[in-house]
Chain A
Amino acid sequence: MRYVILGNGPAGVNAIEAIRKVDREGEIINISVEPYRPYSKPVMPHYVGGFIPYEGMFFRPEDFYDRYDVTPILGDGAVEIDIDRSMVILQSGRRVPYDKLLIATGGKPRELKVPGHDLDGIYYMTNLDYTKKIMEKLPETKKALVLGGGPLGLKASLSLSHHGIDVKILISSGQVMSQVLDPDSAKILEKKLDESKVEMRLRTWVIAFEGSGGRVKQAVLNTGEKLPCDLVVIAKGVQPNLDLIDPKKIRTNVGIIVNHYMQTSRPNIYAAGDVAESYDILTGGNNTVAVWPRASEQGYYAGMNMAGFEKPYPGAHRMNSLDFEGVSCIVMGDVKTVKKGFVVIIQKDEKRNIYQRIILENGRIRGAAIIGRIVNVGGINRFIRKAVEIGRVKDALLEEKATFIY
């Protein structure tokens, strides 16, 4: 049995570990377009900020591939999947036949294709190569712009400002974390941002970049203003990378559609992680939840199923965690949607930067944003996942000593 896994992020790595739990003999080949052993994209901003060393970005030991008896092919990515012949064709022309294939190739950045976007000094922060380029530019950077107010934009701007660089974060919507947080929760983070050295501009976006000598010098905004900059980091989100997929052969929507066993429309081909669209518990439909823990668990379930151990994936709900200059922000489920009949519980202490919001539908938690203090997040997350009727526990949800073991 030959398992071929495309991608060595958390989905691919967890798939390898799951397969080996069930099948010690089968051959596993792990292919990545990047030349690096498994590394973590979410911690790249921590590295840029100087909080962790380079080695801190690698989330498995150096001997990972040996330990799990896997043949890695790094720096030579798949360019085509030949479904009829059950093989993948790599950049180098090499052909790798498979019995079971896992597509865990992740996402690619939402690009900003405005005039001047290809000037030197304008980067995304979606892989290690970009991060290295940004690090190289840091010593000569005086003014930086970060485009996007999601978790990556926020982390990147704070990291850059730790180097003494003048950082402005430009956000198109009216709040930070517009995809994840409601406006009131967002205000706590905005307040923290105001207190930091990063300047935040809401309802602002770039319509063009201007440069000289091929290097970016300023950004032209929708407001008409021109902001000087030597470094630009675009953090406007990611979308599934479907470059490899022929939609006539493998069903896709926004991502590759998978069933509860992480199978695509082709029985021997599986998908997991940021590239996949799997069952979303809250919407009841398929969705791509592009966060690390989901990618890990989907990879694990894909690996189990590929190796013949039937294990249906119960589905996911969205979630995010970040620590924002000492203010923790943990979001689970959907805290934005409020319809008639929903119950909204709010407990806050604005002076201490604490804001907690829980949304209930029919007595079940739909979403929770816990900011500024960490309490019962494990229990609340479980209640969301299992659609538990809260009942009288409602009053204990935000109490420090409460425990929800039952």
Chain B
Amino acid sequence: MILADIDHCVGCRACEVACAEKHLGEVKGEAVGVEALLAARRMHVGISMGGTKPMPIQCRHCEDPTCLFACITGAMHRDPATGMVLVDEEKCVGCWTCLKMCSFGTIMVDQIGHRVLKCDKCFMDRPPACVEACPNNVLIIEEVEYVDQDACIGCGLCETLCLRGAIKLVDTEKGRKSQINQDLCKGCGICAASCPRDAIKMRYFTDEKAFETIAELLEVA
């Protein structure tokens, strides 16, 4: 999944420009310079409260996307294959309802095409344009979960539980083992929590951290 290490973001907007560049071909009509940027980009750099902290803002492809509730034409939909929330730019009529439903403000306005634009994670092009462009390693594709294939017994429980089809059993030299597709994995941890052999680990929110947090909460209570 795409992680943003916002401490190092300087607000250079290279990610925005790269995103726009990648999608310039989809702009409807003539546009140059800033206009073209605004009509093609699907993410943006915002400055957080207090006015000092820049950060890249992309669609999170939420599990419970409120933008889907808003769409009056069905243009906004979840793609069953990749699990991403996408907008059918031809079906969109530019009613602007979805913009105010997204709490994170990730949906962009295309004034030229009179429709909304949405991060599509560059479909399956890897790396995504924003990740490639960032000069400061703020945006990175990171493995947030990984499988210890020596411990894995190939029971397939993880595969049945994953909502996104991100973890599957594959043939390896050591037999049938789970493998995570890092593009689809959202780091939710369902597989890690359910693995009977504890073969799946979280990279950031580790078991140790989880127990620490629980201990802190118990102290407060």
Contact = CB atoms under 8 A, between A and B. Distances in A.
Interface residues of B, number: 34
Contacts of A58: 74
A21 B107 CA distance: 25
Nearest to A46: B93
Given A42-B72, A293-B69, A374-B109, 4 more contacts: A56-B91, A59-B74, A378-B105, A393-B49
Contacts of A244: none
B57 A403 contact: yes
Contact of A330 (B69, B73, B99): B99
A321 interface: yes
B94 interface: yes
Given A401-B45, A406-B49, A378 B107 contact: yes
A402 B96 CA distance: 19
B51 interface: yes
Nearest to B93: A46
A330 B96 contact: yes
Contact of A322 (B73, B91, B95): B95
A207 B170 CA distance: 75
B29 interface: no
Contacts of B105: 376-379, 403-405
A127 B73 CA distance: 15
Nearest to A41: B72
B126 interface: no
Contact of B57 (A52, A59, A296, A405): A405
Interface string A389-406: 000110010000111111
A89 interface: no
A43 B97 contact: no
Nearest to A332: B100
Contact of A405 (B68, B96, B104, B107): B104
22 contacts: A40-B74, A52-B73, A56-B73, A56-B91, A58-B74, A59-B74, A293-B70, A321-B95, A322-B95, A374-B96, A374-B99, A374-B109, A378-B99, A378-B103, A378-B106, A381-B100, A402-B46, A402-B47, A402-B48, A403-B46, A403-B57, A405-B46
Interface string A323-367: 100101010100000000000000000000000000000000000
A14 interface: yes
A381 B46 contact: no
Given A297-B69, A374-B109, A405 B48 contact: yes
A43 B94 CA distance: 11
B50 interface: yes
Given A378-B101, A378-B104, A323 B95 contact: yes
B197 to A, nearest CB: 28
B114 interface: yes
A59 B72 contact: yes
Interface in B36-60: 45-51, 55, 57
B141 interface: no
B69 A300 contact: yes
A135 B103 CA distance: 38
A292 interface: yes
A322 B70 CA distance: 13
B18 interface: no
B96 A52 contact: no
A325 to B, nearest CB: 11
